[in-house]
Structure 1
Amino acid sequence: MKAKASLWSIITALLVFSSIIVNPVMAKADSIDVEAEAAILVDAETGKVLYGKNQDEMLGIASMTKMMTEYLVLEAIDEGEIDWDTTTQISDFPYSISADPAFSGIGLIQDKDYTVKELYEAMAIYSDNATTIALAELIAGSEGDFVQMMNQKAEELGLTNYKFVNSTGLSNEHLGENYPEGTQPDEENLMSAESTALLAYRLVNDFPEALDYSSMLTSELDDQLMINWNWMLPWDNANFKQYYSEGVDGLKTGYTELAGYCFTGTAERNGKRLISVIMNTDVDGIESKREKEGKRFKQTQKLLDYGYGKFETKELYPSGHQIEGESLLPVSKGKQDEVEIVSDQPISSIIKSGDEENYQVTYNIDESLLDEDGQLVAPIEKGQKVGTMELVYDGDQDYGYILEQENQAVDVVTTDAVEKKNWFMLFLSSIGNFFGNLFG
């Protein structure tokens, strides 16, 4: 009997030990490991971060810089300062850049009028640096002044970790004496993955036409073929097919020695758009240049498949939802002493499958509507906004949002109107309050 008991004890101990080992492995299998120095995955509707790795670290961004140049060009068109048919000529500096194939130069021609559309396509599709500088000079007069616009716009858009020193993403040291005025000769454009994702978020939401250009496989300028550097698009080329990912239509590649290979990607599947940023995939010492170039797309595939496979948009709380025990607000000077409140819209969010139970809601009542006793003051209209209902995540893994707001929220409104008491009733109430306070 003792031998049997001892054997049973051993088996029980092994089962307990195996559960300790297996559970972490199962939990890890549900996570994702992105092979890059920094990365982020964002819902393009709400700005919710679905995955982050070193997302606040300032790193080189190389030609992903051009997303800011694209934004400023599209903004100038939107505001009527220029249009797609506006023409400009190539000054000496961008001409010298265009003649150098090391700078993605395609050999522009001086004393020739180029349209904004031609220059923009070369920038967005082929990542051409000379056409980028030409656009910067057209909009601001000089690249130095354009760099000031870039940094001002970054602050306006809510970017937090950034430094723009030129319009292209090249290292300033590669520009020789032509580095933009107001910058230093050894500086390089820097951003965090989070700020890069926010820039991409604003670009595709404010100017969705940017995707019309970033999704073009090829274009021509001066009878020269320009091929998109984004291998995740639907190419027929056998070398690129392995990198294809459903719904990808942008956005911007980049490479410098400091930045390594990087890529800001975006895709739309079944009406849901995600934005990803991969920064510096050169961290594991791969030797082959093609492998290095391709790895950023493989890691983007991994991120996008994780986002679309593990997350879904769900309505967590319907319109008219009330928090139990907190949905009656006291009213002063009214014919009723209280009023009910409800949410006026449903709350939907993109959430990880099986994570619904970790979401709660809370009221944020507008204190400016309350008197010193914390009561709403009559008269009150039916449907009057009195605050918000905020979605709060109570789980273990919360990456937050790239936007300024911390959580999603909808308006909270009253379900009924409350009329103000007439002057006589208010008079009687004041007398009652006076004697009540006196004897109290």
Structure 2
Amino acid sequence: MKLLKKNIAVFLLTLIAFVYVPQSIHAEEKLPINADAAILVEADTGKIIYEQNADKALGIASMTKMMTEYLLFEAIESGKVEWEQTYTPSEKVYTLSTAPGLSNVPLRPNEQYTVKELYEAMVIKSANGAAIAISEIVAGSEGEFVKMMNQKAKDLGLEHYQFVNSTGLSNYDMLGMYPKGTGVNDENLLSAQDTATLAYHLMKDFPEVLDTTSLPTKKFRQGTAEEMIMNNTNAMLKGRRYSYEGVDGLKTGTTPFAGSTFTGTAKRDGTRYITVVMDSKNELGQPSGADRFKQAADLFDYGFNHFTTVNFTLDDLDKKDNHSFPIAKGKEEQVKMQTKESIQLLLEKEAKDSIHVKIKMDENKLNEDGELQAPIKKGEKIGELFIENPKKSEYLMELTPEKERISIYAADSVEKANWFVLTTRAIGEFFEEVF
């Protein structure tokens, strides 16, 4: 009996060894992101690849300027503001643009600056005075601009937000000149997910923003007495200390309240990701400006190394049947199928072979035998190509998920056969069955 039990145990262990195959759990991995919140998003669809405490509203510091950029682009697009129009600094802008300890380019009274110069200073140098100047140009005052910021946040579907100024500064650092309608202790807040959503809309609606965010350096007021070199605050750009292949944006932020924050974007081989890191910490748990870039690199690595965009077409059907489908009472007995696009899915690289592609024909066009009924016109929709049992994914608020089904069209017209053709065909089928 003991020998029998021992043999059974050995058999079961052997069976388990053959049956059990460890499965990849990339989507559930805990990445080494030592920050209060983080998120990784595929930029074309808004598909969330990784998230960590992504729904909590936290300080965003100068990442606020992405909203200021968005509203400026809207004003340019509508014709309300022009790139070459000029602006003379208000007393508020002059004072804050020359205040010690704040990121700035000095904006002097009685000088005129173009909107383009102010925009570039805000984007590249994170110049706070330039951001306030833009708010005055667009809305007349920073207080009115703040109202526009919060309304736009609502329009874009953000859920956890509070905008109190155009810069991301803490209001108590604004030398008493914080916007009307806000309080001295108020702060700009967003969740990591909402920050990624804002970045998504900024790049989707105004992709030209990357022409500026991708510049490692640029001269401000070149050829004038005010000429100065502006180094981009994004240290992941080419040639910078934490350079990462494909990075071309987007915005850093640092204040005592928010800590070190960063919204980054990178594109490789046609795939673009958005990362957000909020209040990054080093290995000692201390706020760290460098670690926001290192952690963004970890997020990018995770996306680029483990995921790939896969196209699925009629060629991926289990039974291709020459891309054709039976048609009843037609001059031809088959109609060729075609699609105008492919199903594109961002998948873990090892998951591609587990995807099953199916077709579902339009039931209103089928007879009792499951055949299409002639006549069929070229270009007529006759069914759909779809992914069977797709893995459920999460997407940014209000965004359209990946297409998991696409339309199938008739590649050619098939006219209804006349009685002679149908009779001849029936006789032929009869004798085939007999013999």
Assess same fold via TM > 0.5. yes
Q: Which residue of structure 1 aligns with residue 399 of structure 2?
A: 404
- Structure 1 counterpart of 2:147, which letter? Q
Q: What do the CA deviations read for 1:279-323 (whole angstroms, capped 9, x no partner)?
A: 121386444x7xx11100001111111111111111123489799
| Equivalent position of 1:224 in the other structure | 228
- Opposite residue 351 of structure 1, the aligned amino acid is L
Choose which of 349, 352, 358 in structure 2 pairs with 1:353: 349
Alignment of 1:69-80 (within 5 A): 69-80=68-79
- 2:250 aligned residue: 251
The Cα shift of 1:253 comes to: 0.4
Q: Answer whether contact 2:217 2:232 (CA < 8 A) is retained.
A: yes
CA gap 1:387/1:182 in 2 versus in 1, 3 angstroms: farther
Equivalent residue, structure 2, for 1:332: none
Say how many residue pairs are matched.
Answer: 403
Task: Measure, in 2, the Cα distance between the counterparts of 1:279 and 1:207.
Answer: 24
* Counterpart Cα distance in 1 of 2:379 and 2:87: 55
Answer whether contact 2:249 2:264 (CA < 8 A) is retained: yes
| Residue in structure 2 matched with residue 299 of structure 1 by the alignment | 295
Q: CA 1:204–1:379 in 2, change beyond 3 Å: closer, same or farther?
A: same
Structure 1 residues 198-229: Cα deviation after superposition (integer angstroms, max 9, x where no partner): 21122222222211211212223322322111
* Residues 365 and 273 of structure 1: CA distance in aligned 2, closer, same or farther (over 3 Å): same
Unpaired runs of at least 5, structure 1: 329-338, 371-377, 421-440
Q: Does 1:92 align with 2:96?
A: no
Q: Give the corresponding residue for 1:333.
A: none
| Cα 1:355/1:174, change in 2 over 3 Å | same
Specify the code of the residue in structure 1 equivalent to 2:132.
I
Q: C-alpha separation between the residues in 2 aligned to 1:56 and 1:388?
A: 36
Distance 2:195 2:359 in 1: 33
Q: Deviations over 1:206-263 (max 9, x none)?
A: 222211211212223322322111111122xxxx53x111111111001122322111
Distance (Å, rounded) in 2 between the aligned partners of 1:2 and 1:392: 49
Give the equivalent residue in structure 2 for 1:51.
Answer: 50
Contact residue 159 and residue 198 of structure 1 kept, 8 A: yes
Alpha-carbon shift at residue 107 of structure 1 (Å) = 2.4
User: What is residue 266 of structure 1 aligned with on the other side?
Assistant: 265
Q: Distance in 2 between matches of 1:418 and 1:57?
A: 58
Q: CA deviation at 1:113?
A: 0.4
Q: Does the CA-based 8 Å contact 1:345-1:411 persist in structure 2?
A: yes
For residue 145 of structure 1, what is the aligned residue in structure 2? Answer: 144
Q: Secondary structure at the match of 1:67?
A: helix
Task: Report if the CA contact (8 A) 2:35-2:280 is conserved.
Answer: yes
- Equivalence for 2:163: 164
Give the secondary-structure state (helix, strand or coil) at the position aligned to 1:277: strand
> Runs of 5+ in structure 2 lacking a partner?
221-225, 326-334, 366-373, 417-435
* 1:40/1:194 contact within 8 Å kept: yes
Q: How does 1:114-125 map to 2 (within 5 A)?
A: 114-125=113-124
Structure 2 partner of 1:432: none
Aligned to 1:31: 29
Partner of 1:234: 238
Corresponding residue for residue 66 of structure 2 = 67
Instruction: State the Cα distance separating 1:417 from its structure 2 match.
Output: 7.5
CA pair 23-361 structure 1, distance change in 2 beyond 3 A: closer
Residue correspondence of structure 1 range 423-438 to structure 2 within 5 A: none
1:126-145 aligned within 5 A = 126-145=125-144
Cα distance in 2 for residues equivalent to 1:285 and 1:143: 39
SS in 2 for 1:184: coil
Alpha carbons of 1:10 and 1:391: their partners in 2 closer, same or farther (altered >3 Å)?
closer
1:105 aligns with 104
Provide the rounded CA distance (Å) in 1 between the counterparts of 2:380 and 2:310.
Answer: 27
Instruction: Say whether the 8 Å CA contact 1:254–1:261 is kept in structure 2.
Output: yes
Aligned to 2:379: 383
Deviation at 1:129? 0.6
Name the CA distance, whole Å, in 2 between partners of 1:140 and 1:314.
Answer: 45
Q: Provide the residue aligned with 1:425 in structure 2.
A: none
Instruction: Give the conservation status (yes or no) of the 8 Å contact 1:363–1:389.
Output: yes
TM-score (norm 2): 0.76
Distance 1:213 1:383, change over 3 A: same
Q: Which residue of 1 aligns with 2:430?
A: none
Amino acid at match of 2:215: M
Question: Which residue in 1 is equivalent to 2:431?
Answer: none
Using the TM superposition, give the Cα deviation of residue 388 of structure 1 relative to its aligned residue in structure 2, in angstroms. 6.7
TM-score by length of 1: 0.75
Q: Give the residue type in structure 2 aligned to 1:126.
A: K
